[in-house]
Structure 1
Amino acid sequence: MNLRRISLAGALFCVLALLSATASATQVPGPLVDTQWLRNNLDKVVILDVRKDVKSFERRGKRAGAVNPCGVAQRKGPRKVAGHIPGAMLVPWNKVTAKRKIAGKEIKALLPAKSDFERLMQKSGVDNDSALVITSKGEAIIHMALAARLFWTLKYFGFDNVALLDGGTAQWIKDKQKLEFGRSKTKKGDFKATAERAEILASMEDVEKLAAGQGTDQLVDVRSTSEYLGLTASGKLARGVKGHVSGAKSFPISLYADSFGTATLYDKDRIKQVAALFKVDTEAPTVFMCSAGVMASLAWFVTYELMGNQNARLYDGSMHEWSHSGKSVVSID
């Protein structure tokens, strides 16, 4: 009888171990997943929902018409994002980046310290063997960019088993998938950074060299054309600067994704075609920048992850750091 009990216990242990191994062995199929794949794998992944508007994660919302890029209200549109994908963990945007003083100036939206990022991921229930899917509200390109910045930070700290949800939670709602409301709950994870991949990060010194004509990397500014030319000023983080860094090429982030209701990425081959019109080589070593290194994160994601350009880097300080450091810009004035 004792032997039988031991045998049954051993068999149960093996089954549990096998299930555990299967769960930990889950791999995302690529850097970008759609709602159908996520629906079929909800119980196998950790979902991180990064938002500025943290209240919308818990509360129910009302149906609202979409507003197209021309500012014209549409009668029909996706439900304004409120609530979250079942099981998702809220990651407040203000915890994803850090601020530091550089040369006496406070610079925001920078890469966080390793220890701070580890604590954030542990609090979000991330283990080193987790399979992660990052979502956002997905109503506009900025939301996809927030998710891409978290993706980039995870990659910087050595985590590879991660994907973005194309179109974010807005696409999930559009596809009539189930939502949850209220606070997210999870156990603490054991995430630890395994690397610091400096090869995907560009510094102000790197950009200074490119602006001076030194080096072979192309510098790509993904702000709007009007900001790039100096017709309109950049946001407050960039101190209202007008113009661009000398030598930078313009390729606006609005040409990477569709924002008519849900922010879904354009096909990579179409993006390449459009990039060629802007004299941007998607296969060349490239440093991406914008106002504060957020929108540029999405351009980096598309180029590095979807197009396979392993020589793409993000200047996280971007025009925010550049302008606060008193560096010159070029404009049409």
Structure 2
Amino acid sequence: MKKIQGLILFACAMVTSVAYAITLPGPVVNAEWLANNLSAVQIVDVRSDITSFGRNPEFVTDKASGKKSLSEVGGHIENSTLLNFKNARVERLVDGRKVKFLIPEQADFEKYIQAAGINANKPIILVPVGQDISDVDEALRMYWQFKVYGENQVAVLDGGMAGWLADGRTFVTSAATKQVGNWVAKSARKELIAGSEDVANASKTGAAQLIDSRLPMQYFGTSKKPDIGAYGHIAGAKEFSPDLLTKSVNGALYFFKPETYSALLIANGIKPTGPAISYCNTGHLASGTWFIVSELVGNKSIQLYDGSAYLWTLEGRPLQGVPLN
């Protein structure tokens, strides 16, 4: 009997060992690391244009040099799971009001992730398209949502699919698998989420730095998105444009080193340390700022204002900007 129990314990230990056979090197992995560890991780492709998942990429050839360069991402890394970003955020009731663009409730997020075929106890590598900061931030928003619901073994592929293709690495155009996964969400980590009252307090007292993650014309109020009820930014906020989050190399977007981000934050009047809240129009681009400050710079005191300027103005709260004609 003891021998049988010993064998059972050994088998359980082996399963656990296999499940955690690899530790991610950090919140960002490069293509070489991923290529060397494909079988040890779950590759989760995050994009809104899901038809491109099964479409061949497009390249252009320079007539003078004959060099090929990527013009449009298509296909995916073999054995990738597809997450449709259009379903990543949902409409929820907040104080009796319907509010769009929010993180799903725990059970709904778990169902969404399981439906994509994602499993527990195996590291997750999020792969953005990687050609525009908006699509990079799709993966970073998913990273934040995974973190909110307790997933620690998650990272983002630097350069995304664009970088993978630009390097000449192999891809496939097969359809996404339909199997159901067993990933389990934990109770929400409230410390990662800021609400409207947190933002109002930060605006009034300076208890936390407010970081506006939108383009200058939206920050200053010369233009706005249709869903936003007013022009300008929340009083006291400092701007950190999404253009500052990445560098372009061969048509793919890559992250800077942490010290570069610290210098950029300081140059924009933002302290790299201490309590902070990032926001944008709807909580999409703000995910990029949250990721940079929290995961790369290492300031774990930053929160993301889910709903952002959309929720703020929906509640009738004021923005300030330059005088308009």
TM-score, normalized by length of structure 1?
0.87
Please give the residue correspondences for 1:10-21 in structure 2 after superposition, counting only pairs within 5 Å.
18=14, 21=17
Q: 1:138 aligns with which of 127, 130, 144?
A: 130
Contact 1:222 1:289 in 2 (8 A): yes
Q: 1:59 aligns with which of 55, 78, 99?
A: 55
Contact 2:214 2:241 in 1 (8 A): yes
Is it true that 1:159 corresponds to 2:151 in the alignment? yes
Query: Which residue pairs with 1:217 in the alignment?
Result: 208
Contact 2:281 2:309 in 1 (8 A): yes
Is it true that 1:43 corresponds to 2:43 in the alignment? no
Structure 1 counterpart of 2:26, which letter?
G
* Number of positions where the alignment pairs a residue of Structure 1 with one of Structure 2: 314
Contact 2:21 2:40 in 1 (8 A): no
Please give the residue correspondences for 1:1-333 in structure 2 after superposition, counting only pairs within 5 Å.
18=14, 21-64=17-60, 77-102=69-94, 105-185=97-177, 187-211=179-203, 213-231=204-222, 233-239=223-229, 241-259=230-248, 261-333=251-323
Structure 2 counterpart of 1:282, which letter?
P
SS at match of 2:259: helix
CA distance in 2, matches of 1:318, 1:165: 26
CA distance in 2, matches of 1:249, 1:65: 42
CA positional deviation for 1:78: 2.1
How large is the Cα RMSD of the aligned pairs?
2.5
CA distance in 2, matches of 1:172, 1:281: 34
SS at match of 1:63: strand
Contact 1:79 1:170 in 2 (8 A): no
SS at match of 2:78: coil
Structure 2 unpaired stretches of 5+:
1-5
Contact 1:158 1:193 in 2 (8 A): yes
SS at match of 1:127: coil
CA distance in 2, matches of 1:65, 1:247: 48
Q: 1:65 to 1:301 in 2, by over 3 A?
A: farther
- Select between 315-324 and 156-165 the one with higher mean Cα deviation: 315-324
CA positional deviation for 1:23: 4.2
Contact 1:222 1:290 in 2 (8 A): yes
CA positional deviation for 1:191: 1.4
Structure 1 counterpart of 2:189, which letter?
R
CA positional deviation for 1:112: 0.5
CA distance in 1, matches of 2:106, 2:181: 15
Contact 2:29 2:155 in 1 (8 A): yes
SS at match of 2:299: coil
TM-score, normalized by length of structure 2?
0.89
Structure 1 unpaired stretches of 5+:
1-9, 67-74
Contact 2:140 2:156 in 1 (8 A): yes
CA positional deviation for 1:103: 5.2
Contact 2:81 2:118 in 1 (8 A): no
Contact 1:136 1:147 in 2 (8 A): yes
CA distance in 1, matches of 2:114, 2:94: 28
Q: 1:175 to 1:16 in 2, by over 3 A?
A: farther
CA distance in 2, matches of 1:215, 1:195: 29
CA distance in 2, matches of 1:152, 1:218: 19
Contact 2:150 2:186 in 1 (8 A): yes
CA distance in 2, matches of 1:32, 1:215: 31
Measured against aligned partners, the alpha-carbon deviations of 1:187-232 in whole angstroms (never above 9, x if no partner) come to 4222111231000100111111222x2351100001111211112x
Q: 1:65 to 1:248 in 2, by over 3 A?
A: farther
CA distance in 2, matches of 1:14, 1:201: 41
CA distance in 1, matches of 2:80, 2:71: 19
SS at match of 1:78: strand
CA distance in 2, matches of 1:296, 1:76: 34
Structure 2 counterpart of 1:113, which letter?
E
Q: 1:65 to 1:267 in 2, by over 3 A?
A: farther
Measured against aligned partners, the alpha-carbon deviations of 1:89-126 in whole angstroms (never above 9, x if no partner) come to 11001221111244565322101011111111212222
Contact 1:25 1:129 in 2 (8 A): no
Instruction: Give the share of equivalent positions with the same residue, in percent.
Output: 31
The structure richer in strand per residue is 2
Query: Which residue pairs with 1:70 in the alignment?
Result: none
SS at match of 2:101: strand
Contact 1:288 1:300 in 2 (8 A): yes
